[in-house]
Amino acid sequence: MGDMTLLFEMPIVPGFALVENAISEAEESALIAHIDQAGLAPFRFQGWEGKRLTASFGWRYDFDTARFEETEPIPEWLLPVRAKAAAFANLPPADFVHALLIRYDPGAGIGWHRDRPVFDHVVGISLGNHATLRLRRRRGRSFERASAELPPRSIYQLSGEVRHEWEHSIAAMDVPRWSITFRSLADIRKSHRRAK
């Protein structure tokens, strides 16, 4: 992984991993420019329109219709960073069949959620400004909580326990932030796709 520095040798939650400096400042600038030119649109959820701007490639989940469907292929400019994400996650690059681009303008965040069960591994790349990834898991009537700082140019993975048992969110920030999220498909979706 080159000069990437592994953080959290003992993860804050099992299945969470983070490295800083996964990409260079020049790569970060180029990725931000590509994201801004990628035809971003406001995130839609059951008729509600969010502040963050998104674009999906490979596959997309439509929250208005609850449909999961193939969409435009992952663009060439994302393939080198997908290869880095795959190396970090110790998976073949082709396993990451979904790419989600997000621009968080000032005031935009993402609420508590767990990624859809159709997805398995989740690898995110944080760009532009620091953010705090908040984690929570219900314990009876309260929540067990944890958090991790996401520096610009860092890469993180959610797998296993943190992926399937914990929710995550990012509070609205006063500065812009961009992210790229790669997801692999859960085995049930892979089996369904092979059967087609």
pLDDT tens for 174-186 read 999 999 999 999 8
In this structure, what CATH number is given to the domain that contains residue 101? 2.60.120.590
- Domain coverage including residue 81: 5-195
Q: Higher pLDDT residue, 44 or 17?
A: 17
Least confident of 4-8, 110-114, 167-171, 185-189: 4-8
pLDDT of 170 reads 92
Tens digits of residue pLDDT in 40-91: 988 665 455 567 899 999 987 666 666 778 889 999 999 999 999 999 999 9
Global pTM value: 0.85
Element holding 101 (H helix, E strand): strand 96-104
Region of residue 27 (phi > 0: left; psi between -120 and 50: alpha; otherwise: beta): alpha
Task: Please state the domain count of the chain.
Answer: 1
Average the pLDDT over 158-180 and give the result. 93
Cα 18 to Cα 107: distance, rounded to the nearest angstrom: 25
